[in-house]
Each structure stands twice: as structure tokens, then as C-alpha cells.
């Protein structure tokens, strides 16, 4: 059969143990038709075949990010970039410039805020009110679970501090019951965000296309999209029909504590939703928030007496929701940062069971009790982790995460090595917008347990570092295995998907500190070249 694409004379690392290396690959109808040497692909040449000389290409299976927020992240990263603000004065300077840019009456929106600058003052909107001329402002913290609004925004949105929610969310108030501006978790943040004007659908669509090109340019061929709702499927179908979808996506349905169980049952009809580049079949849950804001769920309280409550006020309802979806043949994915949240998810999965061939999964796993490490492999539960979340850590432990967990629990953070050694599936990703989506940054963190390219930085739990081979597997074969697609994805092999990423040098042989400077030269999704340097 004639191939649409043939790459010749390349350096191909297939991750297929039966044929680990190749020089030529042919892709037909989005699938690999031949791989090996020149003689293997010769029968697939035709007048319409695109030939690429791969002499400078070091090819791997397509890079998959196993935890990504493509649509929410695209919207949430509009406005002022606050990631470079390390002090309140630096924050105020950025906000003054943004106020000048948007005008006196518009909302000032910012994203990527860190906690450390508020350690002495507490998180308060009045600290930057003057910088926005006393006007409307709403700033998101980097972890996506906390925000802070200016006093004018609190008043405009009629936030009183007396609000109650059907899930763990909080409007933080001072000793007099007056909102400080800090908002913890989604329902509290919605009190403000519902008043911020939304861009048009056309504008947002353009933003999505713009971001997708950036993902492709960094070698990303697939992602496990954690944004999903029933409305996501027709939207992706529209993108695909227009030829605009250039990343493969798995799209869970996000379940929330206030959903009635009957509504969850109505969603079972979407289990088999799919297109060429997307599919459903996964239900997504939150068991807790994040350690930095005190909304994670730990076995023992943090050093400030917080991080003790589940996101679902009734964990038994969460367990029942898991059972509903598991019995209907869904994979279940649960956000669980704290060790108690992880334990609750494992308990729910053990009680619910899992359909043949599937693996439930747990996202993040920043704290994990010794007793629960072996349960992942025993229950065939996958671990989806993001070691680069430690990029917010300070070597001396002064960052908010480390302060809250304390020195002993800090030593048990992000236990990638322990989980892998236990036999668990370990898939890697970024959790963008929480962390940068450049997979080279994530790979460096997983290998080094410190920032790549900064050998002067101290290591964080270095004994948990992974080998280059294990890290590449986390973005390829393990990313496929955690979603039960290892029979046709994650390797370069005849009959497998024609998704591949090409670098300027071999990923395994490249020093971890040099990864960030390693050029991406080619990205192919379903046999289609979506990026070419």
C-alpha cells in the first residue's frame, strides 16, 4: 500500500523491544505500515508519497503529556503573566503596566501568582489595590486552586464571606468576617469569574489554534485532556472536521460533588464518544485541592493546622460516583495531592472494581503513605505524576509547599522512584497551566530532581530520580499503558499509530542539563506533519 509519508535515513528509537532501532518508517492512513531499513519501506513508495530526509532526525514515539488542561489553560493564561513576580513590589509593577494597557474601567487579569510573597502579610487584595488604581482585578495563583481579587472586585461581585458551597470551597475572611480577597477552590472563585466578560467563541477558537501550534512545536503529539464536559466532544468533532485538531486527546468527563447521581448516570451514554484524534471513556474526580493553599487532604494536618478536609464533603458519595462509572466500563481518574486523598481514591477503586483491560488512575500524588505504595500495582492503578511541580520549591525549604508539609514529609514528596520500583504504571506530564508544558523541562526534572541547566541548584529527594529510559517511557509507552492503548500506541511498530517526535539528538544520550536546549525538528500526528523546523 502506498504511504503518505516516508522518513528515510533517520535515527529512530522505536521503544519496541523486538526492534529497538530503525532508520526508515512509512505511514499510511495514519498508521505505521513499515519500519526498519530502506528495503522495508521500498514497497510503500508512490508518486503521492511525501519523502523526508531524516539524516538529522532523532525520532521517538510521539510525546504524550498525561495531564493537561488545553482549553481551561488557554483561557486562564490570558492577561498579565505574574510568574516572574517574586515580591509584592514586583507584582505591583506588573499590575500597574497591565492597568495602563487595558484602561481604567477594564478588569486587570493576571495568572501564575506564587504564594511566597504573601507569607508575611497573608493573601489580601488590598495589597495591590493601588497598583490597579482601586479598580477591578482578579489574579490566579499558579496552581489553579487559589485566586485573589481586589477590594473593588469583591464589592462589584457582591461577595460577602457568608457563602456556602456544595463542595470544599472557601471565601477567606479576616477576624471581622470581611473577605480578604483570597478565594480557595472553584466555587468560591466562580463568585468573581462569572462577572468577568468572556471573549467571543470565535476569539477563543483562535486562541486554541494558536496554542495548539505551540504544543506541536514542542513535540507534543497527544495529551490526556482534563478539561472535559459533554460539550467538549462536539466541539472537538467540529475542530477535526475543519482540519484544525492537531493533537490527539483523551477527554474525561469532570464530575463534581454537587452533581446528582442521576445526572452522572445520564453521562454514561458518552462512554464511547470518539473521533479520529479524540475519545472519551474516562470520568474525572477531585479528592482534594493543593497543599500550598491548605486545601489538600493529608492524613495528618500540615504545620498550620490545615490540609485536613476532602473536596467532596461526603467521601462516600465520591465512592458511589466512582462505582457508577466503573461498573459502566469507564476508567476513573482522581486528582489526589495529599496522602489521605490518595488513600481514599485507592479505597474507592478497590471497592468499585474495574472493567477488563482498564486501569483506574490517580493524578499528582504529591504525598503518599508507605502503606499505600504497593496498592497501585496490586490494584493495577496507574500513577500520573508531574515532578516538575517541584519547580516552585526552594532549596532551603522556605517555599509554601515545604513549609506546610514540614521537613520529614518533604522527604516523601513526589515518590516517582518508589512507585516505579513497586511495579506501578507511571505516566508523566505537566498539568499545564500549573507548570510549563515544554516536555523537555518535565523530562529534566524527572531525571534530575532539580531544574535542568542549573547544576548550582540543590536536589530535591534525588533518590526518587528516574533514568533517561524511564522518563522517555513516561511520556510514551507508559502514557499509552495508563489508558490501555499499549497495543497500538506508545511505540513505533507496524500497526501502531503514526505519531512521532523528532529531536536534533538522541533523548536518551543527551545530558539532562542539555535537554532544554535540544531542538525539536519534526512533529507528526496520525501521519500528518504538524510541525517542521
Q: Is the pLDDT of residue 324 over 90?
A: yes
Give tens-digit pLDDT for 346-361.
999 999 999 999 999 9
Q: Is the pLDDT of residue 470 over 90?
A: yes
Is residue 477 classed as helix, strand or coil in its secondary structure? helix
Q: Is the pLDDT of residue 334 over 90?
A: yes
Averaged pLDDT, 76-105: 96
C-alpha cell at 148: 485573589
C-alpha cell at 262: 442521576
Burial of 194 (0-12, 13-18, 19+ CB in 10 A): exposed
Confidence of residue 104 (pLDDT cuts 50, 70, 90): very high
Give tens-digit pLDDT for 224-247.
999 899 999 999 999 999 999 999
Q: Is the pLDDT of residue 166 over 90?
A: no
Give tens-digit pLDDT for 434-448.
999 999 999 999 999
Give tens-digit pLDDT for 474-522.
999 999 999 999 999 999 999 999 999 999 999 999 999 999 999 999 9
Report the distance separating Cα 146 and Cα 165, nearest Å: 16
pLDDT attached to residue 1: 84
Contact 143, 113 (CB under 8 A): no
Report the distance separating Cα 421 and Cα 419, nearest Å: 5
Q: How far apart are the first and last CA of the chain?
A: 29
Work out the percent of the chain whose per-residue pLDDT is above 90: 97
Report the distance separating Cα 323 and Cα 328, nearest Å: 8
Closest residue by Cα to residue 49 from 12, 4, 7: 4
Burial of 78 (0-12, 13-18, 19+ CB in 10 A): middle
Averaged pLDDT, 109-132: 96
pLDDT attached to residue 24: 98
Report the distance separating Cα 80 and Cα 190, nearest Å: 20
Confidence of residue 205 (pLDDT cuts 50, 70, 90): very high
Confidence of residue 158 (pLDDT cuts 50, 70, 90): very high
Give tens-digit pLDDT for 261-318.
999 999 999 999 999 999 999 999 999 999 999 999 999 999 999 999 999 999 999 9
User: Among 61-70, 170-179, 391-400, whose mean pLDDT is lowest?
Assistant: 391-400
Read off the pTM: 0.94
CA atoms within 13 A on the CB side of 420: 21
Confidence of residue 392 (pLDDT cuts 50, 70, 90): confident
Q: Is the pLDDT of residue 401 over 90?
A: yes
Confidence of residue 162 (pLDDT cuts 50, 70, 90): very high
Average pLDDT, the chain: 97
Contact 32, 3 (CB under 8 A): no
Amino acid at each position: 500500500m502506498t504511504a503518505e509519508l516516508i522518513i528515510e535515513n533517520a535515527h529512530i528509537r522505536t521503544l519496541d523491544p523486538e526492534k529497538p532501532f530503525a532508520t526508515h518508517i512509512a505511514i499510511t492512513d495514519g498508521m505505521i505500515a513499515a519500519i526498519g531499513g530502506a528495503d522495508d519501506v521500498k514497497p510503500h513508495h508512490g508518486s503521492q508519497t511525501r519523502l523526508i530526509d531524516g539524516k538529522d532526525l532523532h525520532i521517538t514515539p510521539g510525546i504524550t503529556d498525561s495531564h493537561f488542561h488545553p482549553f481551561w489553560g488557554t483561557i486562564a493564561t490570558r492577561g498579565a503573566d505574574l510568574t516572574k513576580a517574586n515580591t509584592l513590589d514586583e507584582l505591583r509593577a506588573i499590575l500597574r503596566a497591565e492597568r495602563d494597557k487595558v484602561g481604567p474601567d477594564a478588569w486587570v487579569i493576571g495568572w501564575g501568582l506564587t504564594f511566597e510573597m504573601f507569607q508575611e502579610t497573608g493573601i489580601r487584595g488590598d495589597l495591590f489595590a493601588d497598583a490597579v488604581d482601586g479598580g477591578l482585578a482578579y489574579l490566579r495563583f499558579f496552581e489553579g486552586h487559589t485566586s485573589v481579587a481586589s477590594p473593588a472586585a469583591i464589592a462589584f461581585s457582591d461577595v460577602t464571606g457568608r457563602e456556602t458551597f456544595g463542595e470544599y470551597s472557601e471565601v477567606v475572611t479576616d477576624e471581622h468576617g470581611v473577605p480578604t480577597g483570597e478565594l480557595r477552590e472553584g466555587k468560591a472563585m466562580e463568585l468573581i469569574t462569572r462577572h468577568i466578560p468572556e471573549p467571543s467563541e470565535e476569539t477563543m477558537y483562535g486562541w486554541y489554534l494558536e496554542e495548539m501550534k505551540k504544543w506541536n512545536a514542542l513535540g507534543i503529539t497527544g495529551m490526556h485532556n482534563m478539561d472535559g464536559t459533554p460539550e467538549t466532544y462536539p466541539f472537538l468533532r467540529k475542530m477535526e472536521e475543519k482540519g484544525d485538531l492537531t493533537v490527539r486527546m483523551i477527554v474525561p468527563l469532570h464530575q463534581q460533588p454537587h452533581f446528582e447521581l442521576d445526572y452522572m448516570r445520564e453521562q454514561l451514554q458518552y462512554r464511547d464518544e470518539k473521533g479520529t484524534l479524540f475519545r472519551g471513556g474516562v470520568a474525572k474526580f477531585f479528592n482534594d485541592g493543593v497543599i500550598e493553599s491548605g486545601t489538600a487532604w493529608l492524613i495528618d494536618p500540615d504545620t498550620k493546622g490545615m490540609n485536613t478536609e476532602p473536596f467532596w464533603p461526603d467521601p462516600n458519595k465520591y465512592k458511589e460516583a466512582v462505582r457508577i462509572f466503573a461498573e459502566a466500563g469507564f476508567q476513573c481518574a482522581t486528582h489526589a495531592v495529599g496522602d489521605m486523598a490518595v488513600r481514599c481514591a485507592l479505597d474507592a477503586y478497590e471497592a468499585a472494581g474495574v472493567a477488563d483491560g482498564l486501569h483506574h488512575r490517580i493524578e499528582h500524588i504529591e504525598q503518599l503513605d508507605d502503606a499505600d505504595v504497593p496498592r497501585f500495582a496490586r490494584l493495577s492503578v496507574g500513577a500520573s505524576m508531574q515532578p516538575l511541580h517541584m519547580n516552585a520549591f526552594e532549596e532551603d525549604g522556605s517555599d509554601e509547599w515545604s513549609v506546610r508539609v514540614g521537613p520529614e514529609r518533604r522527604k516523601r514528596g513526589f515518590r516517582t522512584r518508589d512507585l516505579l520500583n513497586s511495579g506501578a504504571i507511571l505516566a508523566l506530564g505537566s498539568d499545564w497551566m500549573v507548570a510549563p508544558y515544554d516536555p523537555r523541562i518535565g523530562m529534566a526534572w524527572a531525571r534530575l530532581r532539580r531544574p535542568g541547566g542549573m547544576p548550582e541548584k540543590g536536589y530535591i529527594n534525588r533518590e526518587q530520580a528516574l533514568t533517561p529510559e524511564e522518563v522517555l517511557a513516561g511520556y510514551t509507552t507508559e502514557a499509552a499503558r495508563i489508558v490501555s492503548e499499549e497495543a497500538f500506541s506508545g511505540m513505533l511498530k507496524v500497526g501502531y499509530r503514526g505519531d512521532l517526535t523528532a529531536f536534533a539528538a538522541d533523548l536518551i544520550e543527551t545530558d539532562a542539563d542539555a535537554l532544554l536546549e535540544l531542538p525539536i525538528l519534526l512533529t507528526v500526528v496520525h501521519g500528518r506533519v504538524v510541525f517542521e523546523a
